[in-house]
């Protein structure tokens, strides 16, 4: 199994703090967000970690990886850069996934994680569920607010099976939302290219999942610990204030 961490966005909603640093490298309690994801992914025993970014932020990710390799903190990481320099040129997440799969030559089951995630739960039980049935599986979170659910992909469950998925609905049918963490068997990966070739929405991964559900069973695993989608300055401030420990004199 390989892991793909999506870091291709330009974080316009977090400007000015993301003018020169991607949001995945913003600090939380003294460590970049990306360090937390890499630590959890590494504990799952993946074969390869792939980071997908863009040309604007490529040097920052190269520096991040080089420092951690020198310190012996991480193994080799495959870094893929989309040929984009601005928000107007961006691929969108689904097209970015398709591009990364092709460029990295992925030919195995694939864990996909949106790089602007912060979570303090382990994905091991999601992986064990996936190994047991080899169905596409996504990590879910109960946001406990119909109003807040409007900003995310919303699902309905029967047991572990997702019966409905809707991206950013005006009237959510539940408060279970997608965290942007997906496990796909390698047999599904070719469908990303078909989805893009058929001129479907290349943006949020939820649109692909909504399309996939037409002919493929997908499961969901609900998590109850902390989860943050770092989309705005207010969300980052909330996360920063909750997890940054005051220095001790």
Tell me the β-bridge partners of 120.
Answer: none
Q: Which two tokens stand for residue 61?
A: 């990710």
Give the pLDDT score at 83: 96
| Residue indicated by tokens 């984009």 | 84
Q: What percent of the chain has pLDDT over 70?
A: 98
Instruction: Please state, in angstroms and rounded to a whole number, the distance separating the CA atoms of residues 46 and 35.
Output: 16
Are the C-beta atoms of 183 and 137 separated by less than 8 Å?
Answer: yes
Instruction: Please state, in angstroms and rounded to a whole number, the distance separating the CA atoms of residues 135 and 187.
Output: 10
The structural domains of the chain, with segments of one domain joined by +, span 2-243
Give the pLDDT score at 75: 76
Whether domain 2-243 has CATH 3.40.1440.60: no
Taking the CA atoms of 230, 34, 61 and 103 in sequence, report the sign of the dihedral they define: negative
Q: Which two tokens stand for residue 52?
A: 């997908």
pTM, two decimal places = 0.94
């Amino acid at each position: 199994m390989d892991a793909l961490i999506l870091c291709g966005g330009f974080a316009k909603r977090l400007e000015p703090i993301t003018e020169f640093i991607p949001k995945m490298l913003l600090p939380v309690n003294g460590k970049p967000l990306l360090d937390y994801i890499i630590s959890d992914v590494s504990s799952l025993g993946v074969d390869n970690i792939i980071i997908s970014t863009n040309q604007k932020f490529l040097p920052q990710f190269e520096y991040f990886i080089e420092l951690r390799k020198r310190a012996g903190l991480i193994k080799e990481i495959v870094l893929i850069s989309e040929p984009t320099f601005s928000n107007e040129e961006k691929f969108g997440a689904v097209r970015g996934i398709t591009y990364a799969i092709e460029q990295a030559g992925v030919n195995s089951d694939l864990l996909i994680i949106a790089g602007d995630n912060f979570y303090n739960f382990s994905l091991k039980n999601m992986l064990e569920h996936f190994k047991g049935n080899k169905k596409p599986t996504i990590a879910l979170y109960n946001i406990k607010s119909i109003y807040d659910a409007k900003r995310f992909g919303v699902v309905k469950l029967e047991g572990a099976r997702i019966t409905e998925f809707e991206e950013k609905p005006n009237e959510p049918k539940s408060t279970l939302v997608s965290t942007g963490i997906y496990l796909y068997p390698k047999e599904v990966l070719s469908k990303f290219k078909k989805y893009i070739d058929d001129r479907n929405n290349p943006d949020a991964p939820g649109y692909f999942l909504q399309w996939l559900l037409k002919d493929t069973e997908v499961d969901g695993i609900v998590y109850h610990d902390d989860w943050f989608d770092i989309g705005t300055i207010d969300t980052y401030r909330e996360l920063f204030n909750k997890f940054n420990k005051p220095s001790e004199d």
